[in-house]
Structure 1
Amino acid sequence: MTVTIVLLILAFFLVVGLPVALAMAISGSVGLYMLGGLPFLEGILRTTPLSTADSYEIITIPMFILMAEFVILSGVANDLFRAASIWVGRLRGGLAMATAMAGAGFGAISGSSTAAAATLAATSMPAMLKEGYDPKMAGGVIAISGTLAMLIPPSIALILYGIIADISIGDLLIAGVVPGIIVSLTIIITVAVVVRLDKDAAPTGRSYTMREKFASLQRIGPMLVLFVAVTGSIYSGLATPTEAAGLGAFVAMLIAIWERKLTRAGFWQALRSTAHTSCMILFIILGAHVFGYFLTLSRVTNDLSAWIGTLEMAPLLIMCFILLGYVVLGFFMDQIAILILTVPVMLPLIVQLGFDPVWFGVIIVVTAEVGMVTPPMGMNVFVVARYTRRPLAELFRGVMPHVWAHLIIIALMTVFPALILWLPSTM
């Protein structure tokens, strides 16, 4: 009965729009009070803030966010799109394919999905509309390409999962590399299929000489340096993810200085944005810890694991139902909230079923990408609509071919876990 009351309180708070951090903290506190009374609740509330912030891995989050702020300030994203458009712009739908490539590149130096979507909307949407692209198709590929930042390291979503699940963040970040490449290629292939079926969706572009193509690569040098500094140092074992995050923020600042884009006002704005976002994430983690204490003490996880153990179903079939549940949750909830709420409950079940927790982390992040572009919550679609002034219904229609393609990729990664686990196994 206590668990039911607390879950109903949580659902009510989420429906009325209370911030997820407060919703989890208040409902968890109510549950703890019902379990042990006021002294019990006060003891947990006194120690939880310190135990939440007193984690070496937490430093990774503000450092990667600061790195993304410096990257946006430097204008590297514009150079990524221009270079990609020179190489593939001649093809029908080439600018849309270049958007996917730029999204992958920006994801490798950002980690923020909404920042990637906003940057791509500002850079690639005007170029595609100028060339005569269907706004529906153009907006759809921008929204889905922005989600790559959730998967390709440095991924804030994977870092959060690692902190919640208490597993190696380095393994998680490296595990996102191959799936990130696969998803990027899937977006490009989807664009190719769409423009083949609908000739009016996108025109062919102008061709460039090889000299122009190789000259464009000079502008993506800073991105490669930053990628090697972060992902290369983690993969080689030269740095922990926390150290790599600090190194990445420093290198990104040097790039902004090299590009002569780092003013005093821009520097302080980057620090303010980083502090604001980091505090929001830490507040969510704090609320999740309070709610997690309630789940642990009420034995919800143990009871759910015992019930799953009585099911006469193959583990892979159970996993399919779990992933379907994540897809449905993505229709209504923010992806960080989904991770915070579900991982403490689901991870013991995943281990019990014999699945690798690193594999599960990457799979649910890829599944969360679907939620980022599906109604009614599709955050990336709302971001693209805000920056491009295009109707939401039009953008949601444009992104649907990519949603179906993503579901196929999720199925392949579920059946073939080596697609995710091979690269971290070579570290």
Structure 2
Amino acid sequence: MSPIVVGTVGFGLLLAMLLMRIPVAFAMFAVGFGGIWVLNGLQAATGLLSSETFALASNSELIVVPLFILMGNVASVTGMSRRLYEAAYATIGQIRGGLAAATVIGCGGFAALSGSSVASALTMGRTALSEMDRFNYSPRLSTGVVAAGGTLGILIPPSTGFVIYAILTEQSIGRLFMAGILPGVLLLTAFLLTVTVLCTLYPEMGPKGPPTSMTEKGRAFLGAIPILVVIFITIGGIYTGYFSPNEAAGIGAALVITIGAVGGTLTLRSFWEAAQSSIVTTASVILILIAAHLINPFIALSHLPAEVSHLLVSLDLGVYGTLILILSIYLVLGCFLEGLAMLVLTLPIFLPVIFDLGIDPIWFGVLVVLTLEMGLISPPVGINVFIVKSVARQVPLIDIFRGVIPFWIAMLLTLIILVAIPQLSLWLPGMM
């Protein structure tokens, strides 16, 4: 059997296992190990398994993952993320659709802490859905806002998606973090405009909330100051060069733990819960990365990347035509596969094409990450939609999917803008 045939069969088996909901890491371990065994022998497969596992597990860059995850989890259990929502709610909650807009802003702020779309959707769902329900917001709007707002989690730094992309492509984590800031703000603005348009066209979807006094506004902002300071120090330190991403993650985690302990909101019990959750999430990410470093050599040995690169170049679509084709493939795959699985599966195939065409890998990383996020609210998988459904059990699933459609369109328009204007992604990294 030729390497191309082995690679195609292996890739098909991997897709089949993922569609059967076999965990991503285990599916990649099986196909990667089996594929290298077929192409290069058992000794090569076992040797690569041991060497790649040790090399990746001892990679110092990966320290950023557990520390930022711990920072987000501690911020969640101490109520810091809820205070961001309360500050936004106190400011704009009294206008039509204000609670929905405040939820978007709260999701953006929490995303800057947790770097997780699922965590953002889950936490803000528990906090905001009951409030919007109390003021008679349309369930379609309220659930759609939470599901879509959670997608900001992987674009606004610190982002786990950017860390994985950086490790797989050997790019700078700090530059990718900076590259995500302006696109994240642009997407946040697009979501706010979407809420405004919906509530203008259909006023009954987002009634006005109760007015708040200046004292209440000031109290809400004071409550949000500590976490805003943490975000400013960690992201600002990376941008100015005072901290590396690893140092920023350590400082951010230390600051939220200190603030929680001094303020009395962090107990030993809640810290243990946050630490346990961080360990489980980190283990999942590390397993996926180890599996990726096992399956990538198999894909290379099969010559699939070279064949795909040759095919795309032979189509003669030009730089933008090829880029749009690749992003379209991601959009389709996003309807069926989980984001990290797509990232690990496709980067070894598409990255040689990107380099051949002279496309900036930092810019490409932003576009890919945003496209992956669109998959989180795309049927039939739509992980964020199912997360919100677990919180809002009384809302039919079809209504949640209908609610996210306007926000999916806003994400598509944002993606088009980022493709058309690369400097929105590259300006801040270039200023570092």
TM-score scaled by structure 2? Answer: 0.96
What is the match of residue 412 of structure 1?
Answer: 417
Whether the aligned pair in 1 keeps the contact of 2:117 and 2:150 (CA below 8 Å) is yes
Amino acid at match of 1:329: L
1:402 aligns with 2:377: no
Aligned to 1:243, what secondary structure does the other structure show? helix
1:199 to 188, 198, 203: 203
Q: Is the counterpart of residue 113 in structure 1 residue 122 in structure 2?
A: no
Equivalent position of 1:153 in the other structure? 157
Which shows bigger deviation, 198-207 or 118-127?
Answer: 198-207
Aligned residue in 2 for 1:333: 337
Deviation of the 1:255 alpha carbon:
2.0
Partner secondary structure for residue 64 of structure 2: helix
Question: Which of these residues, 310, 313, 327, is aligned with residue 309 of structure 1?
Answer: 313
Structure 2 counterpart of 1:142: 146
Q: What letter is aligned with 1:77?
A: S
Residue equivalent to 1:6: 10
Is 1:392 aligned with 2:397? yes
2:100 pairs, out of 96, 99, 119, with 96
Report what 2:303 is aligned to.
299
- Paired residue secondary structure (2:209): coil
Q: Offset at 1:139? A: 0.5
- Measured in 2, the distance between the counterparts of 1:235 and 1:406 equals 26
**1:18-58 Cα shifts (integer Å, max 9, x gaps):** 11111111111121111112222222122121012121111
Displacement of 1:211 in angstroms is 4.2
**Residues 381 and 395 of structure 1 are in contact (CA less than 8 Å); yes or no, is this contact kept in structure 2?**
yes
Gaps of 5+ in 1: none
**For residues 10-49 of structure 1, what are the structure 2 equivalents within 5 Å?**
10-49=14-53
CA distance in structure 2 between the aligned counterparts of 1:214 and 1:263, rounded to whole angstroms: 27
Q: How far apart, CA to CA, are the structure 2 residues paired with 1:281 and 1:40?
A: 25
TM-score (structure 1 length as normaliser): 0.97
The whole-number CA distance in structure 1 between the counterparts of 2:46 and 2:217 is: 63
1:399-418: CA deviation from partner (whole Å, max 9, x where unpaired): 11100111011011001111
CA contact (8 A) 1:151 1:365 kept: yes
Q: Secondary structure at the match of 2:266?
A: coil
3-state SS, counterpart of residue 332 of structure 1: coil
More displaced stretch, 114-123 vs 203-212? 203-212
Letter in 2 for 1:397: R
**Matched residue SS, 2:243:** coil
Cα deviation code 1:333-371 (max 9, x no counterpart) = 111111111112212211212211001111111111211
Q: CA 1:46/1:77 → structure 2, altered by over 3 Å: closer, same or farther?
A: closer
Q: CA deviation at 1:256?
A: 1.6
Residue in structure 2 matching 1:220, options 205, 219, 224 = 224
Rounded to whole Å, the distance in 2 between the matches of 1:199 and 1:267 is 43
Contact 2:309 2:349 in 1 (8 A): no
Q: Is the 8 A contact 1:105 1:223 kept in 2?
A: no
User: Shift of residue 224 of structure 1?
Assistant: 1.3
Which has the larger displacement, 322-331 or 308-317? 308-317
1:287-308 residue CA offsets vs partner (Å, 9 max, x unmatched): 1111001112222222222222
Give a deviation string over 1:90-146, Cα, whole Å, max 9, x none.
221000000011111111122111111111111111111111100111100011111
What per-residue deviation string (whole Å, max 9, x for no partner) do you get for residues 72-95 of structure 1? 111012211111011111221000
Give the Cα separation in 2 of the matches to 1:38 and 1:76.
Answer: 51
Q: Which residue of 2 aligns with 1:260?
A: 264
Give the distance between the partners of 2:96 and 2:66, measured in 1 at CA: 40
2: CA distance, partners of 1:350 / 1:267: 43
The answer to whether the Cα contact below 8 Å between 1:74 and 1:259 also exists between their aligned partners in 2 is no
Taking the aligned partners of 1:401 and 1:259, their CA distance within structure 2 comes to 40
Question: Whole-Å Cα distance in 2 between the matches of residues 297 and 8 of structure 1?
Answer: 16
CA distance in 2, matches of 1:90, 1:323: 39
1:126 maps onto 2:130 in alignment? yes
Cα drift, residue 229 of structure 1: 2.3
Instruction: Please tell me the residue identity of whatever aligns with 2:36.
Output: L
Are 2:58 and 1:50 equivalent residues in the alignment? no
2:74: which partner in 1?
70
Q: For structure 2, which runs of at least 5 residues remain unmatched after alignment?
A: none
Q: In the alignment, does 2:274 pair up with 1:270?
A: yes
* Aligned residue among 161, 167, 183 for 2:187: 183
Note closer, same or farther for the CA distance 1:229–1:335 as it changes in structure 2 (3 Å cut): same
CA offsets 1:164-191 (integer angstroms, 9 cap, x no match):
1110000000111111111111100000
Q: CA RMSD in A?
A: 1.3
Instruction: Give the Cα–Cα distance (whole angstroms) in 1 for the partners of residues 132 and 303 of structure 2.
Output: 54
In 1, the alpha carbon distance for the partners of 2:101 and 2:370 equals 20
